[in-house]
A and B are shown apart, each in its own frame.
Chain A
Amino acid sequence: MDDAELQLRLCACRPHGQDADDPLMRAALDSLPRHPGLEAWHQQQTDFDRAMCRHVGQAPVPARLRAEILAAAKVSRARGRRAVLPWIAAAAMLAAAAVVFWMPRGNGVLSFAEAEVELVKMFDRMQTEGFSLDHVSDELAEVGTWLADAGAPLPYVVHAGARAATPMGCRVLDWRGGRVTMICFRKGGDSAHLFVLDRARLAEGEGPLSRDPAPVHHVDGRPVTAWGCRKCLYLLVGGAKDTRLDDFL
């Protein structure tokens, strides 16, 4: 390593030892004693960098900025929901028309296996395109209150693993002319998404009856599991193909 390369590397080395374990920096620092002309330069450079770090780190920040960011996020989410309302209304009208049109077949003809595949595919598309949450909160109880206010299916049965995870928030999805709740959880580097739908949306007798989750299986490569209660069906979908879904149960 010649002097020029050594100087280039050391210029990118943070002055409080944060990069000391980086192999490129380690090699540069270790070779410094073999470049006596540069040791003094490096010390001066470090002193200068430390002073600059102190000044930049103390640059004033507007006192109300934090409060403004939090307030703006709340307003934006509320406005986003209002903007979606006309579309929901239009979708609801279309759904009502579809219900009338398909009345002989009824709304509850779908099997749970078909619903499972459709919901997983829908989530896959959402994840690819990016999606927003209608309500952001890390309190499950607060998410439940918001869903109740919104008239969406409620998560009556949530297992210990998900309760121990951190909720990110929820979204109410329009699916086949009705509402499906999606609650997003995070634990470690994994995420899982709980879909809740009214049992009445499917053919009679469809869907698991047990409150205990079924063994984890894969739909379109994603780990999924399901359970049920008298009123609702629950589908838990891994945020990725390698999500450890058992951690959310």
Chain B
Amino acid sequence: MDFEQLVGEHYQPLYRFAHSLAQNEADAADLTQQTFLRWATRGFQLRERSKAKTWLFTTLYREFLSSRRRGRRFPHLELDDAESELPSVAPRVVEEMDSGAALDALSRLDDTFRAPLTLFYLQQHSYQEIADILGVPIGTVMSRLSRGKAQLKKLLSTLSNAGGKVIPFEPEQRERHG
């Protein structure tokens, strides 16, 4: 696979991941570009070409962390206790949710959840590969995905109640009748 082909195949999902981390277009473009420059100088040494995609996402994530460390101390985020029960989502919400609302809600998630959830929704990587990219155990990835989705749904409801574009979730059946 040559460099142009590699860029063509991966620059869009990489940029989307970078944007979810950096939260602005300029930094996301810089991160994406820097990642490919690293590939041009070092990445081609990778013995297993099938791992190129994971290498690119891992490198981008490390670039992001190191650039942020340079800017300020990396904040330690306490995770809330896991939801005892995951919220359900009304079908209408799913059908009517628009892209802007979905991406806006995703961008407002805690950093801890945003990275794994974005990788998950990009569908490029399995949970095991996400664990490799983020450098955390598989169980932690599963936990963050679960909690992140719960937070995402809550956020969508909150944004909606505050008058945002997001369509509200309908209350769960059990709550309505119980």
Contacts and interface: CB of A to CB of B under 8 A. Distances in A.
A41 B88 contact: yes
A52 B141 contact: no
Interface string A10-25: 0111101011001000
Given A49-B121, A70-B4, A169 B44 contact: yes
Interface in B59-112: 82, 86, 88-91, 93-95, 97-99, 102-103, 106
Nearest to A74: B40
B86 A61 contact: no
Contact of A61 (B12, B33, B120): B12
A191 to B, nearest CB: 7
A66 B8 contact: yes
Task: Classify chain A's interface size.
Answer: 35 or more
A52 B44 contact: no
Interface of B: 1-4, 7-8, 11-13, 15-16, 19, 25, 29, 32-33, 36-37, 40-42, 44-45, 47-50, 82, 86, 88-91, 93-95, 97-99, 102-103, 106, 118, 120-123, 126-128, 141-143, 145-146, 149, 152-153
Contact of A51 (B4, B19, B97): B97
Contacts of B90: 44
Interface of A: 4, 7-9, 11-14, 16, 18-19, 22, 40-41, 44-45, 47-59, 61-62, 65-66, 68-70, 72-73, 76-77, 80, 127, 130-133, 136-138, 166, 168-169, 184, 186, 189-191, 239-240
